């Protein structure tokens, strides 16, 4: 059975995973968005599913299914088209964000390895997720207090409220479903499914915000969902 109270080495590994995922990689990605054009940085940051698939095959020694690799490539290409914008190339020299986003995506991708390892060793998905979120809470709040101070943290109570609500839904809700899936399935097969995030965001933006998708966005949606269909049906 799964262990609710894991041994120290697994707890340390889960804490480190949370630190590198929700603090290091996340801040790298945000810094990338600040230093480069979003239409270039966003698709690079969303190549994490590809790196997760490759890491699972190379490090966890999972079977290198050709269809799984094909789906990962299709999803990465689809995310690229989804993230394209119609602006001119005038600000393309501001590309310092690209290497930061690439590093963030690479970190997110390879972190599937310690995640899967802990679950394979009997750690429960809820325990792993809880320790990850504790690591995120501690590291981000310590950094914010160091940079801004306590008064700035409590200045906007409404912002704190919505941050708490979104954190519970995204981290506990989505994160728990991901951990449960990872505990029963190969990481290389699940990783490409993370690419479904971008088309879902685009669809919701059309339905709820009234935005108009471009032909490139529609093509990107087709590629991503075709990739998901391949890995779920034939992978």
pLDDT tens per residue, range 127-174: 998 999 899 889 988 888 887 766 665 666 666 676 677 767 777 777
**Sequence spans of domains, the chain:** 8-233
Could you give the CA distance from residue 88 to residue 73 in angstroms, rounded to a whole number?
27
Q: What is the mean pLDDT of the chain?
A: 78
Least confident of 20-29, 110-119, 217-226: 217-226
- CA distance from start to end of the chain: 27
**Mean pLDDT, residues 1-14 taken together:** 79
Question: With 70 as the cut, is the pLDDT of residue 4 above it?
Answer: no
Question: What would the mean pLDDT of 13-34 be, rounded to a whole number?
Answer: 92
DSSP string, 63-103: ---HHHHHHHHHHHHHHHHHH-----GGGTT-BTHHHHHHH
162 CB contacts (<8 Å, ≥6 apart)? none
Q: Give the C-alpha separation, 145 to 34, whole Å.
A: 21
- Whole-number pLDDT of residue 197: 63
As a whole number of angstroms, the distance between CA 177 and CA 34 comes to 31
Q: Determine the average pLDDT of the residues in 113-119.
A: 91
What backbone phi and psi angles, to 5 degrees, belong to 95? Answer: -110, 15
Q: How far apart are CA 108 and CA 113, in angstroms?
A: 10
- Main-chain dihedrals φ then ψ at residue 36, nearest 5 degrees: -145, 170
Q: Is the pLDDT of residue 1 over 70?
A: no
Q: Are 26 and 144 in contact (CB under 8 A)?
A: no
> Rounded to whole angstroms, how far apart are CA atoms 59 and 200?
30
For 23-39, what is the mean pLDDT?
A: 83
Q: CB under 8 Å to 182, separation ≥6 — which residues?
A: 112, 115, 116, 119, 125, 190
Contact 23, 135 (CB under 8 A): yes
- Max mean pLDDT range (21-30, 57-66, 192-201, 218-227): 21-30
């Amino acid at each position: 059975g799964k262990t609710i109270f894991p041994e120290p080495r697994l707890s340390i590994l889960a804490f480190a995973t949370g630190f590198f995922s929700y603090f290091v990689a996340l801040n790298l990605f945000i810094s990338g968005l600040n230093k480069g054009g979003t239409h270039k940085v966003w698709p690079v940051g969303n190549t994490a599913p590809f790196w997760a698939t490759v890491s699972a095959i190379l490090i966890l020694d999972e079977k290198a299914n050709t269809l799984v690799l094909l789906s990962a490539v299709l999803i990465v290409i689809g995310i690229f088209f989804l993230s394209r914008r119609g602006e001119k190339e005038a600000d393309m020299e501001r590309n310092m964000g690209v290497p930061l986003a690439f590093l963030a995506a690479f970190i997110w991708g390879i972190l599937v390895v310690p995640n899967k390892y802990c679950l394979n060793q009997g750690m429960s998905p809820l325990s792993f997720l809880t320790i990850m979120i504790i690591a995120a809470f501690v590291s981000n709040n310590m950094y914010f207090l160091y940079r801004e101070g306590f008064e700035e943290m409590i200045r906007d109570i409404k912002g704190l409220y919505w941050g708490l609500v979104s954190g519970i839904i995204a981290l506990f809700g989505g994160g728990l479903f991901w951990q449960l899936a990872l505990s029963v399935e190969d990481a290389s097969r699940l990783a490409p499914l993370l690419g479904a995030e971008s088309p879902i965001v685009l669809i919701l933006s059309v339905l709820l915000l009234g935005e108009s998708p471009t032909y490139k966005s529609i093509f990107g949606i087709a590629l991503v969902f075709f990739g998901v269909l391949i890995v779920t049906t034939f992978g």
